[in-house]
Amino acid sequence: MEPQSCLIEQSFNGRYSVWVREALDELSNNFTITDPSISGHPIVFASRGFLKMLGYSKEEVIGKNGRMFQGPSTNRRTVLEIREAIRQERAIQINILNYRKDGTPFWMLFHMCPVFSKEDGRVIHFIGVQVPILRKPRRSGSGYVRNGVNLCEDGSGMRETVFGCCRREVCSDLVVELDRILALESVMDADDKELEVDEACEANDSEKQEAATAINNVLSVLTHYSEPPGRLVYGKRCGLSGRSLLGASSNIYLGRIKQSFVLTDPHLPDMPIVYASDGFLKLTGYARHEVLGHNCRFLNGQNTDSSTQFQIKESIQAEQACTVRILNYRKDKTPFWNFLHISPVRNASGKIAYYVWVQIDESCQNEDRQGLSPEMRHLSAVGAVKVAVRSMSMSASTSQS
């Protein structure tokens, strides 16, 4: 199984019972579930109704970002509003123009909300419900209404109106002229459809209520099948007091850094891990929920050198970076030599916010395709993390001001 597929499986397996997917499949609503803690914020579940509405198969959607449904006429401002809601970890209900697999555009009401964990207050998933917006009908009866005349699909309505007051000998000429008019009408209708794509389409109260009901349906299933039951909560955080949290946007930004690393919070008791990269999970074999909240010493084992552990402790107390070679253990208990670099990470105000721990498996040191030395790989990862953390702290101060 590919690493991304493993992470998507863990997105559900570590939090819900084995029956959750079957229960979600029973819902008739159109919705997706995404995981902001996985790099790229991919879709980890898509309902049958959603797949049918868009014309995709499950294999074509799972693991992809929701931007795949946007197109050339999708309003960029709307997309930015959704991204901002993700960054702020709040719900949003907004009209958006999306595209089906065959390329046809359609307006829909998009209702998204975060799913928080009662255990630690983190955003576990985002639920995204999609309700097609029904336009006001542009037809009357069995045909178009244009200039007060009812036109059937084949133009028989106009023919009946015109021919009824004409002599038979001139009808043949009128048929030719009428066909030309109807052809022009069809072109005008096509132009109208193009114009409708650019015109904002508003959802009505019924569609808004349908979206809200669907959100509650999905949340009820997730809560019922969470492990242990009732572990999830929607609407507000119920995290433990004093627990350090990284927002969904922070997870997405840090997820772009492909190397193995974790962030630990020195301001919390026992300096727990508050972020673990996909590379770290792949290297160690642990799932993300098995790592967050724990001290890095869980990687140590019976043959780990205590003097190396003491060197790490001294460097952290002195607020200095250090590089060591330490024997660590994966989840399956297999040992590996970890070429480890630890460095303090300061926020925009210059205070230490986190410590970043960058791991390199010594047996895989020569696998870097860019030809960077292990030391340069350490520094590149630390630099990327520092930029991310400072950007996060600046964004947070801006939003509070």
One domain for residues 288 and 188: no
pLDDT of 153 strictly over 50: no
Owning domain of residue 215: 3-135+203-233
Q: Is residue 252 part of a domain?
A: no
Least reliable range by pLDDT among 108-122, 236-250, 373-387: 236-250
Q: Are residues 56 and 131 in the same domain?
A: yes
Please determine, for residue 72, whether its predicted confidence score (pLDDT) is greater than 60: yes
Q: Is 268 inside a domain boundary? A: yes
Residue bearing the bigger pLDDT, 143 or 324: 324
Whether the predicted pLDDT of 45 surpasses 70: yes
Residues 394 and 283 in one domain: yes
Same domain, 330 and 275: yes
Cβ neighbours of 194 (radius 10 Å)? 10
Domain count, the chain: 3
Residue 278 lies in a domain: yes
Whether the pLDDT of residue 115 is over 50: the answer is yes
Does 90 share its domain with 227?
yes
* CB-count burial class (<10 Å; 0-12, 13-18, 19+) for 310: exposed
Same domain, residue pair 19 and 128:
yes
C-alpha distances in angstroms, 207 versus 93, 113, 199, 233? 11, 17, 18, 24
Per-residue pLDDT at 83 exceeds 50? yes
Verify that 345 and 381 share a domain, yes or no. yes
Lowest pLDDT segment from 106-110, 139-143, 339-343, 394-398 = 139-143
Answer whether residue 124 is part of any domain.
yes
Residue 218 sits in the same domain as residue 288: no
Question: Mean pLDDT, the chain, as a whole number?
Answer: 79
Q: Percent of the chain, pLDDT > 90?
A: 41
Q: Are residues 149 and 207 in the same domain?
A: no
**Is 251 a residue whose pLDDT tops 80?**
no
* Most confident segment among 3-12, 177-186, 377-386: 377-386
Closest CA to 286 of 14, 12, 2, 71: 14
Question: Same structural domain for residues 353 and 276?
Answer: yes
- Please indicate, yes or no, if residue 248 is contained in any of the structural domains: no
- The answer to the question of residue 19 being in a domain is yes
What SS3 state is found at 389?
helix
Residue 348 has pLDDT above 80, yes or no: no
**Residue 384's domain is classified under what CATH number?**
3.30.450.20
Whether the CB-CB separation of 279 and 259 falls below 8 Å is answered with yes
Mean pLDDT of 366-389: 80
Q: Would 347 be classed as within a structural domain?
A: yes
My answer on whether 298 and 376 are in the same domain is yes
In-domain check, residue 185: yes
Kindly state whether residues 264 and 341 are assigned to the same domain: yes
Entry pTM: 0.56
Q: How far apart are CA 347 and CA 363, in angstroms?
A: 34
